[in-house]
Homo-oligomer: A and B are copies of this chain.
């Protein structure tokens, strides 16, 4: 199987429409139809059920969609990492961090790493919530900080860096902000304060409230009184003036972890991880 065929199939499987998929791929519809049909012939399996009015995935098609995405990410990663290994000007590491999260830990880590004798330059790549795994898997980053149980750690090698409780971050002057402590049930369905939505481990977003990409957006929306959030303790240090932080007794503990792609044989990654574990 060639990556071209996989790209074509993924496009059709996502769009569920040959015409639109062809347009997205920048080719005409007939070659796309033929390519997918040929893929099905070679695999000996129907991947799509077509009824001239609609296209749907067969169970085998579902399997191939998931597997093809992973395989294409691996190929992309190969390309990107090789390019970076070859370009002499930047031999450093790329560290992916959720924008706005773990700021204090990140600062300490970068300082400690820079003080190492064999320090390699580190670029910080700020990504949206839940995107760290993706950038790690497709080669845009070499290491990432993520948070259990929120982020998807599947397929990554991981070391734990620390655990902390969670606090509710509320708009200035909100009645709940005056209490000394909350439980999750207090925050369930507060009138006029919907929970925000962000990309979860399963890739989908859930909840009724506003859609949010990173912590900065989230804090801004809280400042505007449009939502609230339950976040790790360590965000206290970066709360804008006026927001209220209240411990949430029964919120699950958050573990910050450092992760890297499984077959990374890079000494530079190992060095950064070692530094992180010493903090």
Chain B residues with CB under 8 Å of A74's CB are 67, 70-71, 74-75
- The interface-forming segment of A38-46, A123-131, A180-188, A238-246 is A38-46
Q: How many residues of A contact B (CB 8 A)?
A: 42
Report the separation of the CA atoms of residues A70 and B82 in the bound assembly, to the nearest whole angstrom. Answer: 13
B79:A43 contact, CB within 8 angstroms: yes
Nearest CB on B from A251, distance (A): 25
Chain B residues with CB under 8 Å of A83's CB are 43-45
Q: Which residue of B lies closest to A155 (CB)?
A: B262
Contact of A67 among B44, B69, B82 (CB under 8 A): B82
- A59 at interface (Cβ–Cβ under 8 A)? yes
Report the separation of the CA atoms of residues A64 and B3 in the bound assembly, to the nearest whole angstrom. Answer: 16
B2:A45 contact, CB within 8 angstroms: no
- A68 at interface (Cβ–Cβ under 8 A)? yes
Binding site for B on A (CB under 8 A): 1-4, 6, 43-47, 58-60, 62-64, 66-71, 74-75, 77-79, 81-83, 85-87, 139, 154-157, 261-263, 265
